[in-house]
Amino acid sequence: MNGRKMRFLMIGAGMSGILAAIKLREAGHDDVIVLEKADQLGGTWRDNRYPGLTCDVPAHAYTYSFAPNPEWSRFFAGADEIRAYFEKVARDHGILPLIRFNREVIDLSWEGGEWRAATGVGEDYVADVVIVASGPLHHPRMPDIEGLESFAGQAMHTARWDDSVALDGKRVGVIGCGSTGVQMVSALADRAARLVHFQRNPQWIMPVVDFAYTDAEREAFRNDPSLVDAIRYDPEYEGNVQRFTMGIIDPDSEAMHAIEELCRVNLEQSVADPVLREQLRPNYRAACKRLIYSPNYYERVQLPAVVVETGGIERIEPAGVRMKDGTLHELDVLALATGFDAQKFIRPTTVRGRDGLTLDEAWEDHASAYMAITIPDFPNMFFLNGPTSPVGNFSLIDVAERQWSFVAALIAELASGACDEISASAEAMAAYDTRRTAAAAGTIFASGCSSWYLDKNGVPMTWPWSYQAFADAMANPVLADMDCRVAARAAA
């Protein structure tokens, strides 16, 4: 490492936090600590363990570029092996000893030119640079349904799943039909005695093909890394991703119409019963909500034990779920696949930047960060997968790796002594936010549906330009947009 020696704190030992720790160690920084609120690493893959959880990005693309994994068992990997992958990468790269488990950061304050992180266990950590890697989807949103607490069976949010609860042969209800609800219903359709899928707004489903890799294929992957690369960088997959991005940012494009048509045909051809087909037909455009990729939901939902309920929930009672038309669905287990509060990011941690400015104040109108990385007056604090990060059905690992290039350039400014404190300038932030919100309002995500993408003003909190524009912005940070201050500590 060249230049100033610095202390680094990562908040969160999920995919992004592990990445940051590896990259910092590779760059020669040796004062690196990862604070993790739980007793295991893995972030979203630790918290989510509901039946059927898989990643809808092909496994070889949902992999760090520097740690390919010839062992993936399937095209779309399941949660257990993804969790095991992150554990292995962290172990192989010597990151485990850097992680402080059971350290939830309660307060993070910029004081005297450094960050102080207070944890719930009474320990304070001090750092020159903080990487916020707490993820966008980690605060479960409980549904506001009358009587939920009165349910006599087991009711659980899917991100707080209790593996010990019996499901086979039980009467199970699943509320919510985002990616989570769809995966769970697909997995339980032939296990539950009766499975009720409660859908307030049905979702469009993009058909995909999933398959297992054979032992011979894995052996070939081990012996020839170019075979893994051929899947990871498959031009057809990358072309689809690019087209999907173009469709998102131009809802009237041919690309978006093609996606809509694929989803429509999937529904028409897969669901035989016309009544069920209409129940499952959304009344908004495909990809307005995050598009669901499923190889088998429509097939599974037509199994005899499954009931799709779109009638509207009146309340929850000890015996089950009462619908507005008076029907009672008696249940043993109720899965709440009701999503996440995606506006919080690192909050409820209190974060105080320069002059005591809190993140709540900075984000009073909506959460944002210049290029999704940095906020004015929160010097030396950088987000990975933070607000306005690219979304869509991309590999968030690829996103985080590209964001790291940007963060590394800012860290290099600190290391060289060019700045002691660096964050986006207020002018650059305002210009970015104005440009971004205007563009986001024209994307498919704003075409008339509710979703976790939307901020409280109804504007998608997303990267509204092409994936190539994102890749270019991350590779070429505009340092003139930074508020770079020198020697604040030396002068004090």
Residues near ligand NAP, by CB under 6 A: 54-56, 137, 143-145, 175-181, 183, 200-201, 290, 313, 337-340, 450, 452
With contact defined as beta carbons under 8 Å apart, do 488 and 380 qualify? no
Give whichever of 19 and 82 is closer to ligand NAP, judged by the CB atom.
Answer: 82
Cβ-contact 334, 147 below 8 angstroms? no
Q: How far is CA 53 from CA 180, 293, 366, 405, in A?
A: 7, 12, 30, 30
Tokens of 116: 């102080």
Q: For ligand NAP, which is the closer residue by CB, 337 or 346?
A: 337
Residue type, 359: L
Nearer to ligand NAP, 93 or 197 (CB): 197
Kindly state the smallest distance separating residue 204's Cβ from ligand NAP, in Å.
Answer: 12
Which residue number is nearest to ligand NAP in terms of Cβ?
Answer: 178
Residue number, 11 or 185, with CB nearest to ligand NAP? 185
With beta carbons less than 8 A apart as the criterion, state whether 132 and 110 touch.
Answer: no
The DSSP letter of residue 199 is -
* 114 vs 309 by CB, closer to ligand NAP: 309
Nearest approach, Cβ of 76 to ligand NAP (angstroms)? 8
Inter-CA distances, 120 with 39, 125, 176, 357, Å: 14, 12, 33, 22
Closer by beta carbon to ligand NAP, 84 or else 357: 84
Of 423, 421, 411, the closest CA to residue 490 belongs to 421
Smallest separation, CB 287 to ligand NAP (Å): 11
CB of 350 to ligand NAP, least distance (A): 26
- Is the Cα torsion angle 30, 34, 35, 39 positive or negative in sign? negative
**Which residues make Cβ contacts (< 8 Å) with residue 143, sequence separation at least 6?**
175, 176, 336, 338
DSSP strand pairing (171-175 vs 194-198): parallel
Shortest distance (Å) from residue 15 CB to ligand NAP: 12
Task: Tell me the CA distances in angstroms from 271 to 152, 206, 276, 278, 353, one per residue in order.
Answer: 34, 14, 7, 9, 54
Please report how close the Cβ of residue 180 comes to ligand NAP at its closest, in angstroms: 3
Tell the smallest beta-carbon distance from residue 251 to ligand NAP (Å).
Answer: 19
**Crossing angle for the helix pair 235-249 and 467-475, nearest 10 degrees?**
100
Tell me how far, at minimum, the Cβ of 55 lies from ligand NAP, in Å: 5
Residue 290 and residue 453 in contact, taking contact as beta carbons nearer than 8 Å:
yes
Q: How far apart are CA 89 and CA 113, in angstroms?
A: 33
> Is the CB of 173 or the CB of 376 nearer to ligand NAP?
173
Closest CB 159 distance from ligand NAP, rounded Å: 7
Closer Cβ to ligand NAP, 163 or 364, answer by number: 163
Eight-class DSSP state of 488: H
The gap from C-alpha 369 to its chain's centroid, in whole angstroms, comes to 16
Q: Which is nearer to ligand NAP, 20 or 313 (by Cβ)?
A: 313
What is the DSSP code string of 38-56?
A: SSSS-THHHH---TT-B-S
